[in-house]
Amino acid sequence: MATRLSLGQFSVSPVVLAAAHLGLDAAHGLDLVTTAVPSSPGQFSALRSGEIDVAITSPDNVLLYATTDRNPLGEQINVRMLRPIDRGLGLALLVRPEVGSAAELAQRRLAVDVVRSGFALLLFTMLADLGIDYRDVAFDELGSTPARGAALIEGRTSGTILNAETRVSAEADGMQVWRTSTDVSDRYLGTVLAVPPGIDDDVLRSLSAVWAAATDWLLHAPENDVRACLGEAGAALGTAAYLALLRDPRVGLLESDRVDVADLEVLVGIRRSCGAFTPDVDGLADLVHP
């Protein structure tokens, strides 16, 4: 009997789509199902309660929830990073087309997941590069990337951090890219698989094998095959622009099966520069699943 694993995700995971398309989960004795989570607090609350088994999440969320109780849940969560997924899939500050300058943007309302999330800190860093002090900006907490993308396109916010298919759709609707994660660091780690204790090691090895094989296919299979597979889950996912993000070595999918502590140090540096809680760098290796 297949082992069922519930994966909590903000946006659609192309790796899970590819694994299902290729039958990789079944071949490794797994039944992978996905659950949309509304925000990082919602995701880690679900991980804590067992509503989800695995989080597809920002490594910065692990830094926050696994090292301190100074997070939105008020509790330190026992969770480790199983493997890296991508370098952000084109994480960028997108701004409405009518906004013409940084000075004007500073007067507008901007959207974040929650103000202490990793994406929010990345946004604060991008704003600083534009000469804007984030403490002078009004922010609305609008949750997941798809929710923020809809708010931007509909004019309910003037700017936000977007990536993956949501960025593709926003650009197609005329939203402007002002800064990207590569402007901050070429080692920005965007997404990881995070797991709590208690999942059988054989199951985790099977999940890692599925992830590696699906990632390899997404990166190296014929373009038309990959686009056809992903396009079944949404028009933006089947575009050339989305596939280009997946395959871009600067921001795309990672074939490595282990999180590099040096990448986590970049995130710690961003936290420090924003005056946010900063975990002890000497303990970062303990956040990577052995």
Q: What are the pLDDT digits (tens) for 184-199?
A: 999 999 999 999 999 9
Q: Where are the alpha helices (DSSP H) in 72-231?
A: 102-105, 118-129, 145-153, 164-172, 181-184, 201-220, 223-231
Model pLDDT for residues 243-266, shown as the tens digit of each residue: 999 999 999 999 999 999 999 999
Are 211 and 99 in contact by the 8 Å Cβ rule? The answer is: no
Report CA-CA distances (Å) from 62 to 78, 264, 269: 9, 10, 15
The residues with which 2 forms a beta bridge, in sequence order, are none
In sign, the C-alpha dihedral spanning 211, 215, 217, 218 is positive
Q: Write down the pLDDT at residue 117.
A: 86
pLDDT at 1 over 90: no
Model pLDDT for residues 115-148, shown as the tens digit of each residue: 888 899 999 999 999 999 999 999 999 998 999 9
Distance CA 221, CA 21 (A): 13
Q: Write down all domains in the chain, each with its CATH number in brackets.
A: 3-88+188-287 (3.40.190.10), 92-184 (3.40.190.10)
Global pTM value: 0.94
Distance CA 261, CA 272 (A): 16
Write down the residue that tokens 């004019």 correspond to.
Answer: 155
**Mean local confidence (pLDDT), 177-183:** 97
Distance CA 193, CA 82 (A): 5
Q: Write down the pLDDT at residue 249.
A: 97
